[in-house]
Amino acid sequence: NSKMVEKEETLISEEEAAQYDRQIRLWGLDAQKRLRASRVLLVGMRGLGAEVAKNLILAGVKGLTMLDHEQLTLEHCKFQRCSPTQGEGESSHNAAVKTNPRAALCFLSAPLFELESAQNSKLKTKPLIFTVNYTNVCLTCCPRDLLVRVDQICTKNNVKFFSGDVFGYHGYMFSNLGPEHHYVEEKPKVVKPAEEVDDGPEAKKPKIDPSKTAMVKKTASFCSLKEALEVDWTSEKAKAALKRTPADYFLLQVLLKFRTDKGRDPHPESFADDSQLLLQIRDDVLDSLGLGTELVPDEFVSYCFSEMSPVCAVLGGVLGQEIVKALSQRDAPHKNFFFFDGWKGTGVVDCLGEK
How many angstroms separate the most distant Cα atoms in the chain? Answer: 85
User: CB within 8 A of 196, min separation 6: which ones?
Assistant: none
User: CB within 8 A of 37, min separation 6: which ones?
Assistant: 9, 10, 62
pLDDT of residue 3: 33
Cis check for the bond before 94: say yes or no (omega within 30 of 0): no
Is the distance from CB of 78 to CB of 172 less than 8 angstroms? no
Residue 246 is given by DSSP the state: -
Find the helix packing angle between 144-156 and 247-262, rounded to 10°: 110
Calpha distance 225→270 (Å, rounded): 30
Taking the CB of residue 185, how many other CB atoms lie within 10 A of it? 13
pLDDT of residue 267: 94
Residue type, 347: G
Domain 14-182+307-350, what fold? Rossmann fold (3.40.50)
Strands (E), the chain: 39-43, 63-68, 104-109, 113-117, 123-127, 136-140, 160-167, 170-176, 181-191, 207-220, 337-341, 346-350
pLDDT of residue 95: 54
Residue type, 321: Q
Strands (E), 195-350: 207-220, 337-341, 346-350
Is the distance from CB of 63 to CB of 107 less than 8 angstroms? no
Report CA 342 to chain centroid distance, whole Å.
18
Region for 238 from its dihedrals, namely left if φ exceeds 0, alpha if ψ lies in -120 to 50, beta otherwise = alpha
Please state the length of the chain. Answer: 355
pLDDT of residue 19: 57
- Each residue's pLDDT, cut to its tens digit, for the chain (355 residues) gives 333 333 335 555 656 655 555 565 566 556 667 777 788 999 998 999 999 999 998 888 878 988 886 655 444 444 444 444 444 334 455 555 455 555 567 877 766 665 443 344 444 444 554 555 789 999 999 999 999 999 999 999 899 999 999 999 999 999 999 999 999 888 887 776 655 455 555 555 667 766 677 889 999 999 999 999 999 998 888 888 998 999 999 999 999 999 999 999 999 999 999 999 999 999 999 999 999 999 999 999 999 999 999 999 999 999 999 999 999 898 999 999 999 999 999 999 999 998 7
Cα angle, residue 141 at apex, residues 46 and 345 outer, rounded to 5°? 75
pLDDT of residue 214: 82
- Domain definitions of the chain by residue range: 14-182+307-350, 183-220, 225-302
